[in-house]
Every structure is written in structure tokens, then in C-alpha cells.
Amino acid sequence: MSSCFQSLSDYGLRSIGFGERLLPKSDITLCEQFVLIGSGMIWNIYFAVFALLLGFFFATVLALGKNSNLPLFSAPCRLFIFIFRGSPLFIQFFFAYDLFVILPRLGFDIDLGFLVVTVETRWLTKAWLGALIVLFFNTSAYAGEIFYGALRAVPSQDLESADAFGFTGIKKFRRIIWPTMLRLAWPSYTNEAIFMFHATTLVFFTGFPAWQQKGDAIYYASYFADKTFNPFVPYPIVGFYFILLTLLIIGLFSLINSRLNKHLPTNERKRLRFNKYNLIR
Amino acid sequence: MFSYCVDPKTLEGFMWLSCYVTTAKHMSFYFSFLVVMGLLSLAAPLAMAFGFAGATATRSSLSILRSLGKGYLAMIRGIPDIVFFLFIPIALDQAFEYLRHKVLCSDVTEPIRQGNDFVVCASAKLPLNTASEWVHDIYGFSLALLAFGFVFGAFAGNVLSGAMAAVPKSQIETGEAYGFSQRQVFRRILIPQMWIYALPGLSNLWMILIKATPLLFLLGIEDIVYWAKELGGIKTGVYEYPHPDWRAWYFGVLMIFYLSLTYLSQSVLDKISARLSKGQATMAGKAG
């Protein structure tokens, strides 16, 4: 048991660069596999949480843009959604990484008048930023399409009542359209969030290098599978972590769902039911 | 390819490019597009078979079969598909070799797992060390295909079991009232009626199957991603056709390939769904 605490302190934060520098090479224990793969989950959570948080707002913009009557707004939004939904995320990672690599290395200055910001393009080739940008665009496109569908499904009576009460512009959107859109989109959006967490496992299999062997859960799992030549331990461990994570997401999203449905009479509330999910992104 | 390609160093412009894109390696690159198409055309029916088996199992009267089926359909919700793509080929490979070892080399007493090694006797190796290159390729491809069938079978199973649940109960009760057995109800009433409910889900599944094909690269197959990396990398003067880092261009080509594939599929699927909903008592059917 003490050796287990030892591996926890050695490898618990290994994926972000603390603790033992070398990965276990021989006599790999079950504890080490559990701890190191768990440590890799930090990256999966980091990527998914930030991509989803940022993507949520961009997706709303995309949905409104796609719904716009002006082709000037709707055409670019349509194109963006089509490109990111129509091509594999795996290829998007490769493409983006190689684009980032051939960008000028040094970075360029942006003159804001009162201060000069230097944009360091070399950070783009690092996973923490480059892969996050790809995931952010990807989830924005998928969620944008979901929100667009929900936006089209907002009942016209809601809009008429809003007009009758003299709501216009921002106020009408914020008080009437947006909450209903979210409520209708929420089951699909929960699904999208789950798949975003799953998609983060692709990052370190594409161009983005795992610098100093700081990788995500599946990076360490495939490391162990290669070293021990036994896939039957590390991959089920990854599966275990992801099932826990998925249950956590569902718990969290159903709390938000009940908040979104609070104003409805009980029999009209939509409960998030796990087995009713539209499973596929 | 062309007669003037003998000394590429002397060529320029279009002539150089025409020679460059017809090298033997580029031919392998083009062939790998066919591999992707082959995988798609084989994985889709395989996934349907797995999915159909899974969905049928969830409705079985045996509780063991039922929970097996439910577990199979549920696992894909919690665990990322890449885990299965990495796990299944190597696990299957080891399982096959283990079984062959037990049968073919029963006289060997040493354990198969020795520390960090997996040791089977030479005649149990799959494929045999003496087998030619193409056997290894086919074997690797078949393992990949099985992994695709298994994962997408779980997706398809979810769609199909949803569709089976969507068939109106009264239809089934009518069948029972006419004295159909369970099997007959399943075959004559449930299956023919579920397809229209399954169609949107299956179209969606086809799209994600297309978008999952580059994952072949993870399974060690020389697919389009492999060749794009290989051909696009910096080629110094020692190569026949030196060029800087062109990987972004190659992956750009792959993006366009996939975008056109999904776009084409979408328009075909839209046509099919319009055709199938003609005359149906649904909103789409009435509109047309």
C-alpha cells in the first residue's frame, strides 16, 4: 500500500510536469498505471472544459448568424459549420498543426495604439493552445448547428407574446429566445459535451507532440500497452475513468437542465434521460 | 510515368509537377484512397450486422443475452471510440495467437506471458513469419475492419433498438391477435416497419463512419494519413524531388476529399429520405 502512495506522489501530477521525470519502464505496477493514466485525465478535462466554455458562446453567435436573413452573415457561418462538421476532427488536427508549423516562427506585433501586443505564433504548435483552438472551433460548429436547429424550433407564440409585451432587440433575445433555444437544445448539447470529452483523446495522436512525455490519459495507456505488451490492463483503466467522467457530465448537465425547465408545469418538463440521447454527433 | 521524367532535376514548372504527382509513392497514396473506400463499403454492412445482433439481443427473453446486448450498446456512450480502436486489434491478435498456441504447441510448457513479453511458439504466430508481405497487410486490415465493425456496431445497435421501440405497439398487438408467434411478429411486423424510423440515425451513422476512417492510421495501416505525412514532409536534396514542408497542402487535399465525400453523401441521403417519406403519414410525406 505504501508503494501506492509513492506512485501517487511520483506520478500524480506527472502529466503537467511535476514529480518523477522518467516514466516507469520495468516492473510496472497496477498502481502506477492507475495513477499515471489518471494524471493524464487532467489534459482531457482541460481541453474539453475550455473548448466547451468558449465554444458555447461562439456557437450561439454561429447559430444566430446562420439564421440571419443577410447572406453577408449567414454564408460565412454556414461555411464554417460545414467545414468543421463535414471533415474528420483527426484530419483537422493534422491540417491545423501543419499550418501552425509553417506560420512565421517569431511572432508578430499588434499595435493597439496604447500598447503593443506580441503574438507568439510558436505557442500555436504546442498542444495546450493549438489543439485547444481546433477543439474550440470543432465544438462551436457542432453546437452551432444544434443551437440553430433549436432556434428554428422556438414556438412562434413565444415570439408573439414577446412582441405583445414590447420586448425588442437584445432584451427579446436574452429574455425569450435564448432561454427557450437553450432548453430545446439541451439534450443534444449534453450529448455534444460528452463527445467533446471523448474527442480530446485524439490530440496526442496527431501532429501535436507530447512535450517531455506530458500527455493525456490515452497517451499513457498506449505507452503502458506498448511497454507491457498487455492491452488488457491500461485500456480498461482509461475506460473506467471516462465512464466516471461521462456520469459526472450527465449529472452536471441534468442540474442545468432542470434549471432551464423550472418555469414549466411538471408534466411538460423534459427530463434528461440517458437512454433517450441522440447518441451520435 | 512520363518519358521526360528520367532526370527530374532538370525539369521545371508544370513538367516537374506532372512527374512529381505520378511517382510510385504517389500511386500508393492514390491507392490508399481506394483502401478508405474499401473499408467504408465493408465496415458498413459489418457494423449493421453487429448492431442488428446487439439490438436483437436487448429484446431477447434470456436475461443474460439481454444484459450482454444492453452492455454492448451502452459502452460506446461512456468510453471514447479511440480506446476501442487501440484495444481491439491488439487484443484480438493476442487472443488468436493464444488459442493457436494452446492448440498447435500443446507440448510447450513455458507460460505465454513472461514479464513484459507475449511469447507464443513460431507456428502459432499470426500471420506466420514466413508469410509474404500482402498476407500481413490483409491480416492488419481485417483486424482494423473488425474493430470498426465492433465500434460502429454499437452505434448502429443504438439506432436500431431505438427504431424497434418506435414501431407502434398496436402493430405488434395486431400481429399477436392474428396468432403470430413471437418470432413471426419480429420478422414480419417489427423488422419491415422499423427501417423508416432508423433512417435518420443510420444516415448520421454513415457520416460518422466516413469521418472515422482516418483513424485507420492509428492501427498501423498505410492509409491516406500515413502517405500525406510521408509525402508532405521536407525532402532534402538527396531526394529526387526535393521540396519544403508540404504537409499542410497534403492535409488540405484530405480535408477537401472528406468534405466532398460528406457533401455528396448528404445529398444522396436527403434524396433517399425524401423518396422514402413519400406517401408516409408524416410531415415530410405530406409536404411533398
Q: In this complex, do B86 and A231 lie within 8 Å of one another by their Cβ atoms?
A: yes
- Per residue in B140-167, pLDDT (tens digit) is 889 999 999 999 999 999 999 988 888 8
Q: Which residues of B touch A239 (CB under 8 A)?
A: 75, 78-79, 83
Q: Which fold has domain B41-221?
A: MetI-like fold (1.10.3720)
In chain A, the percentage of residues whose pLDDT exceeds 70 is: 89
Q: In this complex, do B255 and A83 lie within 8 Å of one another by their Cβ atoms?
A: yes
Distance CA B156, CA B164 (A): 12
Under the banding of pLDDT at 50, 70 and 90, the label for residue B250 is very high
* Res. B180: pLDDT tops 90: yes
Closest CA to A141 of A82, A197, A90: A82
The residue length of chain B stands at: 288
| pLDDT, position A50 | 96
| Average confidence (pLDDT) over A180-190 | 91
* Res. A135: pLDDT tops 90: yes
Q: Which residues of A touch B155 (CB under 8 A)?
A: 279-280
Q: A92: how many CB neighbours lie within 10 A of its CB? A: 23
Give this prediction's pTM: 0.88
In chain B, the percentage of residues whose pLDDT exceeds 90 is: 34
Q: In this complex, do A279 and B76 lie within 8 Å of one another by their Cβ atoms?
A: yes
Q: In this complex, do A229 and B259 lie within 8 Å of one another by their Cβ atoms?
A: no
Q: Which residues of A touch B232 (CB under 8 A)?
A: 98
Closest CA to A99 of B26, B54, B246: B246
Under the banding of pLDDT at 50, 70 and 90, the label for residue B46 is very high
Picking from A28, A225, A277, the nearest residue to B90 by CB comes out as A225
Q: In this complex, do A274 and B77 lie within 8 Å of one another by their Cβ atoms?
A: yes
- Per residue in B14-27, pLDDT (tens digit) is 778 888 888 888 88
Q: In this complex, do B208 and A281 lie within 8 Å of one another by their Cβ atoms?
A: yes
Distance CA A189, CA A192 (A): 5
| pLDDT, position A85 | 93
Distance CA B30, CA B41 (A): 17
- Per residue in B82-110, pLDDT (tens digit) is 999 999 998 998 888 888 888 887 777 77
Q: In this complex, do B248 and A205 lie within 8 Å of one another by their Cβ atoms?
A: no
| pLDDT, position B288 | 39
Q: Which of B59-68, B116-125, B212-221 has the lowest mean pLDDT?
A: B116-125
CA nearest to A93 within chain B? B251
Distance CA B116, CA A25 (A): 10
3-class SS of residue A108:
strand
| pLDDT, position B209 | 92
| pLDDT, position A1 | 53
Pairing outcome for strands B113-114 and B117-118: antiparallel
> What are the residue boundaries of the structural domains of chain B, listed by start?
41-221, 233-273
- Per residue in A29-63, pLDDT (tens digit) is 888 888 989 999 999 999 999 999 999 999 999 99
| Average confidence (pLDDT) over A253-270 | 85
Angstrom distances, CA of residue A108 to CA of A58, A119, B42, B72: 25, 6, 49, 52
| pLDDT, position B279 | 62
> Mean pLDDT for chain B?
85
> Mean pLDDT for chain A?
86
* B49 vs A215, more confident: B49
Under the banding of pLDDT at 50, 70 and 90, the label for residue A116 is low
CA distance B233 to chain A (A): 10
- CA torsion, ordered A97, A100, A105, A106, to nearest 10 deg: -130
* Res. A182: pLDDT tops 50: yes
Q: Which residues lie across from A110 on neighbouring strands? A: A117
- Per residue in A264-277, pLDDT (tens digit) is 887 777 777 655 55
Distance CA B201, CA A272 (A): 19
Closest CA to A128 of A26, A16, A37: A16
> What are the residue boundaries of the structural domains of chain A, listed by start?
29-276
Distance CA A162, CA A183 (A): 17
**A contact test, residue of B32, B73, B87 with most A CBs within 10 A:** B87
* Res. A150: pLDDT tops 70: yes
Q: Residue B186 carries which DSSP code?
A: I
CATH 1.10.3720.10 fits A29-276, yes or no: yes
Q: Which residues of B touch A86 (CB under 8 A)?
A: 258-259, 262-263
Picking from A86, A198, A231, the nearest residue to B259 by CB comes out as A86
Q: Residue B188 carries which DSSP code?
A: I
- Per residue in A56-78, pLDDT (tens digit) is 999 999 999 999 999 999 999 99
Q: In this complex, do B251 and A227 lie within 8 Å of one another by their Cβ atoms?
A: no
Q: Which of A211-220, B2-11, B63-72 has the lowest mean pLDDT?
A: B2-11
Pairing outcome for strands A116-119 and B117-118: unpaired
Distance CA B114, CA B210 (A): 40
Q: Which residues of A touch B258 (CB under 8 A)?
A: 86-88, 91
Distance CA B288, CA B286 (A): 6
Angstrom distances, CA of residue A154 to CA of A70, A170, A182, A216, A272: 20, 16, 10, 40, 19
Q: In this complex, do A83 and B259 lie within 8 Å of one another by their Cβ atoms?
A: yes
CA distance A83 to chain B (A): 7
Q: Which of A219-223, B44-48, B103-107, B251-255 has the lowest mean pLDDT?
A: B103-107
Q: In this complex, do A95 and B87 lie within 8 Å of one another by their Cβ atoms?
A: no
| pLDDT, position A121 | 67
Distance CA B32, CA A113 (A): 52
